[in-house]
């Protein structure tokens, strides 16, 4: 059925022009002072290192080439989540957010921001998110997986009870929380032995992040805060493919989630997914069938991925024009009130 109420479809612009106005929301930067502290950046070729530092004309030129009207920027992984010293994590999150706000102010129509949050201290994270949304005009938060707190070998996931007041603030502010991957800690990588590279973006990112998302669902978090909106990258880190089986096995007695409803209910009602770094039509089709085109958002994963390659795939993928326009722009406009 035609969705004639969709504002993008009612626009006077032809679809080819609308597709050049994409909104992307998993696009990363790093501060020069921290570039060598980030394992994601350390070994990158010099051109990519330059791109991730650039919040000015070089980035805007790449956005133009990639058909990107607006990018919502975020600190690259693992960011402050990997700073076990709580005070330092809080200070660095604040510095990062101020730096991002200063750069957005130079290009406010093209650049927006996601807050960096020191989830080592849930109360400080809630305060920083509130400051970023209310004072700096940020669109929500992007958090790079679990946080290390005190001990470098610790991993705190956000289904834990101490995070419930933080989630209350997220719901109250009515902004999305982007759960971005990070590598598992070195002491928790036994299954990758001999294949250490699998622990990162080729496979481990999706394992780490999909389990974190399942923990949030199973914990009852979304029963307590039903309006929470969590975004996952990489077409949902594999969850749309595996969620039916998880529910099926739970319904046969394998497992006892604290949540009231099947996991797939929360995936459909509380999650959005982006196309970042997963430019595959078969996977996109699965996501659309499982959670619906209204919950899929365009993204690149710049500068780790190429905005032109992403555009060329997406603009010609075998999906309906209605879904293409929603994913490219209209869903993000609705979610972020642009
Ligand atoms: Zn990313």
Note the pLDDT of residue 1.
39
- CA of residue 277 to ligand 1 center, whole Å: 8
* Residue 93, domain member (yes or no): no
Q: Give 70's strand partners.
A: 23
Note the pLDDT of residue 18.
76
| Angle at CA of residue 81, ends 78 and 82, nearest 5° | 70
What value does the CA radius of gyration of the chain take, rounded to a whole number of Å?
19
Taking only the tens of pLDDT, the chain with its 338 residues reads 344 445 555 566 777 777 889 999 999 999 999 888 777 787 889 999 999 999 999 999 999 999 999 999 999 999 999 999 999 999 999 999 999 999 999 999 999 999 999 999 999 999 999 999 999 999 999 999 999 999 999 999 999 999 999 999 999 999 999 999 999 999 999 999 999 999 999 999 999 999 999 999 999 999 999 999 999 999 999 999 999 999 999 999 998 899 999 999 999 999 999 999 999 999 999 999 999 999 999 999 999 999 999 999 999 999 999 999 999 999 999 999 99
Note the pLDDT of residue 10.
54
Burial of 76 per CB tally in 10 Å (0-12, 13-18, 19+): buried
Distance separating alpha carbons of residues 320 and 43, to the nearest angstrom: 39
Domain assignment of residue 49, given as a range: 1-77+275-338
Show the 3-state SS of the chain.
Answer: CCCCCCHHHHCCCCHHHHHCCEEEEEEEECCHHHHHHCHHHHCCCHHHHHHHHCCCHHHHHHHHHCCEEEEEEEECCCHHHHCCCHHHHHHHHHHHHHHHHHHHCCCCCCEEECECCCCCCHHHHHHHHHHHHHCCCCCCEEEECCECCCCCCCCECCCCHHHHHHHHHHHHHCCCEEEECCCCCHHHCHHHCCCHHHHCCCCHHHHHHHHHHHHHHHCCHHHHCCCCCEEECHHHCCHHHHHHHHHHHHHCCCCCCCCCCCHHHHHHHHEEEECCCCCCHHHHHHHHHHHCHHHEECCCCCCCCCHHHHHHHHHHCCCCHHHHHHHHHHHHHHHHCC
Contact 59, 38 (CB under 8 A): no
* Residue 31, domain member (yes or no): yes
* Residue 294, domain member (yes or no): yes
Distance separating alpha carbons of residues 271 and 162, to the nearest angstrom: 22
Note the pLDDT of residue 19.
84
Q: How many independent structural domains does the chain possess?
A: 1
- CA of residue 5 to ligand 1 center, whole Å: 33
- CA of residue 21 to ligand 1 center, whole Å: 21
* Residue 321, domain member (yes or no): yes
* Residue 293, domain member (yes or no): yes
> Which of the following is catalytic: 301, 306, 315, 323?
301
Note the pLDDT of residue 20.
82
* Residue 110, domain member (yes or no): no
- CA of residue 292 to ligand 1 center, whole Å: 22
Q: Give 274's strand partners.
A: 297
Cβ neighbours of residue 42 closer than 8 Å, sequence gap 6 or more = 35, 36
- CA of residue 180 to ligand 1 center, whole Å: 6
Distance separating alpha carbons of residues 169 and 228, to the nearest angstrom: 10
* Residue 60, domain member (yes or no): yes
Distance separating alpha carbons of residues 294 and 273, to the nearest angstrom: 10
- CA of residue 49 to ligand 1 center, whole Å: 14
* Residue 263, domain member (yes or no): no
Task: Determine whether 153 is an active site residue.
Answer: no
- CA of residue 284 to ligand 1 center, whole Å: 17
Contact 63, 307 (CB under 8 A): yes
- CA of residue 182 to ligand 1 center, whole Å: 9
Q: Is the pTM of the predicted complex or chain greater than 0.85?
A: yes
Q: Whole-angstrom distance between the N-terminal and C-terminal Cα of the chain?
A: 26
Q: Where residue 45 sits, what CATH number does that domain have? A: 3.20.20.140
Note the pLDDT of residue 67.
97
Q: Give 147's strand partners.
A: 156
- CA of residue 142 to ligand 1 center, whole Å: 10
- CA of residue 24 to ligand 1 center, whole Å: 11
Q: Give 73's strand partners.
A: 27, 113
């Amino acid at each position: 059925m035609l969705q004639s109420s969709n504002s993008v479809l009612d626009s006077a612009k032809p679809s080819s022009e609308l597709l050049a106005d994409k909104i992307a929301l998993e696009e990363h930067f790093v501060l020069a002072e921290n570039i060598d502290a980030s394992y994601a950046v350390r070994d990158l070729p010099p051109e990519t290192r330059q791109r991730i530092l650039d919040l000015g004309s070089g980035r805007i030129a790449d956005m133009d080439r990639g058909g990107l009207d607006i990018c919502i920027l975020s600190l690259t992984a693992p960011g402050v989540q990997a700073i076990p010293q709580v005070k330092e994590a809080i200070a660095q999150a604040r510095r990062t957010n101020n730096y991002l706000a200063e750069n957005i102010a130079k290009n406010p129509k093209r650049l927006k921001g996601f807050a960096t949050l020191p989830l080592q201290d849930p109360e400080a994270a809630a305060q920083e998110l509130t400051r970023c949304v209310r004072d700096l005009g940020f669109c929500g938060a992007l958090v790079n997986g679990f946080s290390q707190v005190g001990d470098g070998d610790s991993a705190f996931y956000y289904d834990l009870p101490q995070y419930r007041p933080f989630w209350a603030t997220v719901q109250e502010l009515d902004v999305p929380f982007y759960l971005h991957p990070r590598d598992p800690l070195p002491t928790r990588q036994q299954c990758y032995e001999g294949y250490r590279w699998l622990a990162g973006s080729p496979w481990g990112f999706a394992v780490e992040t999909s389990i974190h998302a399942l923990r949030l669902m199973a914990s009852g978090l979304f029963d307590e805060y039903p309006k929470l909106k969590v975004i996952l990258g990489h077409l949902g880190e594999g969850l749309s493919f595996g969620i039916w089986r998880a529910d099926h096995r739970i319904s046969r007695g394998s497992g006892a989630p604290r949540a009231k409803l099947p996991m797939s209910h929360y995936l459909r009602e509380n999650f959005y997914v982006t196309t970042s770094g997963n430019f595959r039509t078969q996977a996109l089709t699965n996501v659309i069938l499982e959670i619906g085109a209204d919950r899929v958002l365009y993204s690149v994963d710049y500068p780790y991925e190429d905005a032109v390659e992403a555009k060329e795939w997406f603009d010609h993928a075998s999906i309906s024009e209605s879904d293409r326009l929603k994913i490219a722009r209209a869903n993000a406009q609705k979610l972020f009130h642009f």
